[in-house]
Amino acid sequence: MLKEFMYTTDPKNEHLEDKNIQSSTTLQIVKASDTNEHEETKETVLSKTEETKPQMEKKRFCPPQGTLNKTITNGAILFMIWCVAWSFSGPEVLPDGSLFGLLIIFYGAVIGGKLLEIIRIPSVPQLPPLLGMLLAGFTIRNVPFLSDHVYISNTMSSTLRNTALTIILVQAGLGLDPQALKHLKGVCLRLSMGPCLIEACSTAVVSHFLMNFPWHWGFLLGFVVGAVSPAVVVPSMLRLQEKGYGFEKGIPTLLIASSSLDDIVAITGFNTCLSIIFSGGVLSNFLSAFRDVLVGVLVGIVLGMFTRYFPSRDQIRVQKIIGTAWNIFQPLLFGLVGAEVSVTSLKSDAIGICVATLSLALLVRISFTFVLMSFAGFNFKEKIFIALSWMPKATVQAVLGPLALERARISAPHLEPYSKDVMTIAFLAILITAPNGALIIGILGPKVLTRHDPNKRIRTSLKS
């Protein structure tokens, strides 16, 4: 029975095996044909793309792409702006007109800033673009052909600089971090007020004995040069913070938060000294300045309560508007400041005295900053870094430097020599401290600050 069963079942199994073998072979043939067809189509597609690739590369040059396209577009925008201004104002946009001079200085400053961004020296941190804007305005003023045809009225220049001052203050307020201020409030207040006040006092003393400045002019000059520049400090510190340098002790956050308050102290002191010089009456002006500060604090509290809820946190429109406005007014500000300085009006001995005054006051500031940081939990290298990083000057000097000169031209022409010296020292302060400060922060930071991984700290805080 078993033999018969095995005999009867073997042909069936063989028949099934033959079918399975045939089906498997057909599947393999189909798969092989599919893969061959797929490879053939892939090869044909690749061959077609390789054939069309040179054609596509050739088409990129027409129309132009990249930098060339951007240059042509900006040139067309410049021409359209000039045409629109010409239709409204007529001869004002032609040479010797105020709008013509304004456009030349604006686009010259933009080009100067872009050139400084493009020029990169290996192993050297990038210099701030505002230095290129300043030098562009200075070049336009002192090149004979350009200076003969570029003219800007004092009223327009003053209005633009005051507008830039308002934008700087608003931007400084938006840059404050409440959590950082709460955590580092004691050190932040010391760093934002102490060095500015001590440099103002030391500048007043040095300028009184070296430059024969009256005491009130000396303090006015001190508050002009006493402010640190967020335009230099903030980007440099953000680059260090992204790489994790000084992140554990909050050094970049401390300097970013303190730079905004430092500017407010300098501007308040300058306005007080300016009102004393041109209005007379020390006590009355001091009381009026105190009144203005008190009113400003009250209005600030009311507006702060309003802006706590309006706009809501999901709306970032205000920061975008202020950022766009600053991108427009920054070239105008530094270009106009550079255009105020004339080489022919500078005396060689005056430049030496101005540099000596600026240097001595700066040494006092650096030493005092080091002392203030001695009781804040930083080691020796970190204190050296903070003291040297607290020296760049740019934005506030560009705004406040020409204000005394404008006031003297309007109400007290006999005070113009003092105001021109203030303007010259403000220009030299930007020219000397802005690039050197950016280089010191970029080179010294990675060498003396301890590096930590910011992402690791965030993950640890999330786990806890």
Please give the Cα distance from 365 to 203 (Å, whole number).
Answer: 10
pLDDT per residue as tens digits for the range 145-175: 888 888 888 778 878 877 887 787 677 666 6
Looking at residue 21, its pLDDT comes to 43
Q: Per residue in 396-440, pLDDT tens?
A: 888 888 888 888 888 888 888 899 889 889 988 988 898 888 888
In terms of DSSP H, where are the helices of 412-453?
A: 416-448
- Span 304-345, pLDDT tens digits: 788 777 777 676 677 788 888 888 888 888 888 888 777 777
Could you tell me what percent of the chain has a pLDDT over 70? 78
Q: Which residues contact 218 (CB under 8 A, 6 or more apart)?
A: 203, 204, 205, 207, 208
Q: For residue 123, which of 443, 445, 446, 381 has the smallest C-alpha distance?
A: 443
Over 60: is that where the pLDDT of 464 sits?
A: no
pTM above 0.75, yes or no: no
Query: CA-CA distance, 303 to 293, in Å (whole number)?
Result: 15
Contact between 328 and 321 under an 8 Å Cβ cutoff? The reply is no
Can you say whether the dihedral through the CA atoms of 109, 115, 117, 121 is positive or negative? Answer: negative
Structure tokens at 207: 């300028």
The tokens describing 170, both together, are 């608003």
State which amino acid sits at residue 52.
T
Contacts of 164 (CB under 8 A, 6+ apart): 329, 330, 332, 333, 398, 399
Q: Write down the pLDDT at residue 34.
A: 47
**Residue with the two structure tokens 């430097």:** 401
Share the mean pLDDT of the chain: 78
Picking from 171, 191, 123, 140, the residue whose alpha carbon sits closest to that of residue 343 is: 140
- What is the set of domains in the chain, with CATH numbers? 69-459 (1.20.1530.20)
Residue with tokens 């400045």: 213
Q: Is the dihedral of CA 367, 373, 379, 382 positive or negative?
A: negative
